[in-house]
A and B are shown apart, each in its own frame.
Chain A
């Protein structure tokens, strides 16, 4: 009897919200932690439908893990938003089926872990990722029909894909005839990066837009030659000003000294 009492106490004092329901989702038990979290007393909740008491974002929907676990007889977990006394929290909750001696499902046990801080952190990370992505592709309209995309840092396939999408969209928006891709700030150009650049060039060509690669440093030129990468498909220039002259040439403009 004392052992049973102790077991009850353990469940009661565990700081995680725990509750149990029968097969029809009527509440059989709620521990102290969950009652405190919801700001209710035991008499308020026992025997009521769990969705009438809890109101999480999954309650009364098909996403409810408890329903799934009652149906399948297996443990199920998911993330949901839960309104509590302290405001909206994000919880990861686990639904475990309760079985009798013969193994028939007679109800379910549910416990939840508060992951609000983690969720906020993830959200912030996503926002920062978005910002970095926007910052990594600053397409500048340099002249009517001429775009410049300075690239700084490392080009991986994800970024190359992003660059391509941004460039193509900007070309269509601005009706550009030439785009200059300045890779002055790219530390290393290997086969993969060169491949990405060649792909981008081909893509822009399909929109009737010439792509000029500028800012090729001596070190980069040497790596390209040593790796034996065929860059014949791309127009390359050493500096941005050379590329700009070439671009103006393409759109039939020329720069002349002012006569005094």
Chain B
């Protein structure tokens, strides 16, 4: 197991039926690829109902990052896992829209903070 993968494990945590993924800043393409593999693998192995992708530390989202995590969200939806994106900052969102990214909000829901994201997951579980 390489050092990078160890790092990734620490950013993917599981709390009571939900998976929380904290994404770091300045991710390389390679790392993004690795982390998406880990997320999908973990979601498959463990019995979770929801996943939160936390972008709070990410200062830039380009088309590649967006596409990758959209695909990850799609994959998780196939497992019946609800995905919530949280922690996007206004600047990041502005830059994303300016990049011409058209977010497909059918595959994931969004929330401002990690707390609100977990609340959103709880709500769907209750229903």
Residues of A within 8 A of B (CB): 161, 164-165, 168-169, 171-172, 175, 199, 202-203, 205-209
Assuming the contacts A171-B112, A172-B112, A175-B112, asked whether A206 and B94 have C-beta atoms less than 8 A apart, the reply is no
Residues in chain B near residue A209, CB distance under 8 A = 112
Is B57 an interface residue when CB atoms closer than 8 A count as contact? no
Is B15 an interface residue when CB atoms closer than 8 A count as contact? no
Band of interface residues on B = 20 to 34
Residues of B within 8 A of A (CB): 85-86, 88-90, 93-94, 96-97, 102-103, 105, 109-113, 116-117, 120
Within the assembled complex, what's the spacing in Å between the Cα atoms of A161 and B93? 12
Cβ-neighbour of B110 out of A169, A199, A205 (below 8 A)? A205
Residues in chain B near residue A203, CB distance under 8 A = 93-94, 96-97
Q: How far is the CB of A5 from chain B (nearest CB, A)?
A: 65
Chain B at the A interface: SS class? mixed
Within the assembled complex, what's the spacing in Å between the Cα atoms of A202 and B37? 27
Closest A residue to B104 using CB positions? A202
Within the assembled complex, what's the spacing in Å between the Cα atoms of A205 and B85? 10
Residues in chain A near residue B88, CB distance under 8 A = 206-207
A171–B103 contact, CB under 8 A?
no
**10 A-B contacts, Cβ less than 8 Å apart?**
A165-B94, A168-B94, A203-B96, A206-B96, A206-B103, A206-B110, A207-B90, A207-B93, A208-B109, A208-B110
Q: How far is the CB of A164 from chain B (nearest CB, A)?
A: 6
Q: How far is the CB of A209 from chain B (nearest CB, A)?
A: 7
Assuming the contacts A172-B89, A172-B112, asked whether A164 and B94 have C-beta atoms less than 8 A apart, the reply is yes
Residues in chain B near residue A171, CB distance under 8 A = 90, 112
Find the residue from B103, B110, B116 having the highest chain A CB count within 10 A.
Answer: B110
A164–B97 contact, CB under 8 A?
yes
Within the assembled complex, what's the spacing in Å between the Cα atoms of A29 and B39? 77
New contact pairs (17) apart from A175-B112, A203-B94, A206-B103, CB-CB < 8 Å: A161-B94, A165-B90, A168-B90, A168-B94, A175-B113, A175-B116, A202-B102, A202-B105, A203-B96, A205-B105, A206-B88, A207-B90, A207-B93, A207-B110, A208-B86, A208-B109, A209-B112
A208–B94 contact, CB under 8 A?
no
Residues in chain B near residue A165, CB distance under 8 A = 90, 94
Within the assembled complex, what's the spacing in Å between the Cα atoms of A169 and B92? 11
A208–B112 contact, CB under 8 A?
yes
Closest A residue to B96 using CB positions? A206
Closest A residue to B92 using CB positions? A206
Closest B residue to A168 using CB positions? B90
Residues in chain A near residue B86, CB distance under 8 A = 208
Residues in chain B near residue A206, CB distance under 8 A = 85, 88, 93, 96, 103, 105, 110
Residues in chain A near residue B116, CB distance under 8 A = 175, 208
Residues in chain A near residue B112, CB distance under 8 A = 171-172, 175, 207-209
Residues in chain B near residue A168, CB distance under 8 A = 90, 93-94
